[in-house]
Amino acid sequence: MLEAILLTVITAATPLLIAALGELVVERSGVLNLGVEGMMIMGAVTGFAIANVTGSGSLGVLAAIGAGMAMSALFGFLVISLVTNQVATGLALTLLGLGLSGLIGEGFIGVPGQRLPRLEVPGLSDLPFVGPVLFGQDAVVYLALALVILVAFVLFRTRVGLVLRAVGDNHASAHALGYSVQKVRYLAVLFGGGCAGLAGAYMSLAYTPQWVENMTAGRGWIALALVVFASWLPWRVVAGAYLFGAVTVLTFHAQALGIGVPSQLLSSLPYLATIVVLVLISSNRRLTLVNTPACLGKPFVPDR
Cα–Cα distance for residue pair 216/229, rounded to 1 Å:
20
pLDDT on residue 8: 86
Q: What is the DSSP string of 79-98?
A: IIIS---HHHHHHHHHHHHH
Cα–Cα distance for residue pair 124/258, rounded to 1 Å:
36
**Which residues are CB-contacts of 270 (< 8 A; sequence separation ≥ 6)?**
222, 244, 247, 248, 251
Cα–Cα distance for residue pair 191/36, rounded to 1 Å:
12
pLDDT on residue 259: 65
Which CATH number describes the domain made up of 2-290? 1.10.3470
Alpha helices in the chain (DSSP H): 2-28, 36-54, 57-76, 86-104, 130-135, 139-157, 159-169, 171-176, 181-202, 219-229, 234-256, 263-283, 285-290
**Residue (of 76, 55, 35, 18) closest to 198 by Cα position:** 18
Q: Where do the domains of the chain lie?
A: 2-290
* CA angle (49, 186, 103) in 5-degree steps: 25
Cα–Cα distance for residue pair 67/43, rounded to 1 Å:
6
Cα–Cα distance for residue pair 114/44, rounded to 1 Å:
12
**Residue (of 267, 215, 296, 189) closest to 15 by Cα position:** 215
Cα–Cα distance for residue pair 219/303, rounded to 1 Å:
38
- Over its length of 304 residues, how does the chain's per-residue pLDDT go in tens digits? 677 788 888 999 999 999 999 999 999 999 999 999 999 999 999 999 999 999 999 999 999 999 999 999 999 999 999 999 999 999 999 999 999 999 999 989 988 888 888 887 777 777 777 778 888 889 999 999 999 999 999 999 999 999 999 999 999 999 999 999 999 999 999 999 999 999 999 999 999 899 999 999 889 999 998 998 888 999 989 988 998 888 877 776 666 666 666 666 666 777 777 777 777 776 766 766 677 899 999 999 887 5
**Residue (of 129, 142, 158) closest to 3 by Cα position:** 129
Give the other-Cβ count within 10 Å of 13's Cβ: 23
CA distances from 51 to 61, 143, 209 (A): 8, 19, 10
Give the other-Cβ count within 10 Å of 34's Cβ: 21
Cα–Cα distance for residue pair 207/10, rounded to 1 Å:
10
pLDDT on residue 26: 98
**8 A C-beta contact, residue 168 and residue 30:** yes
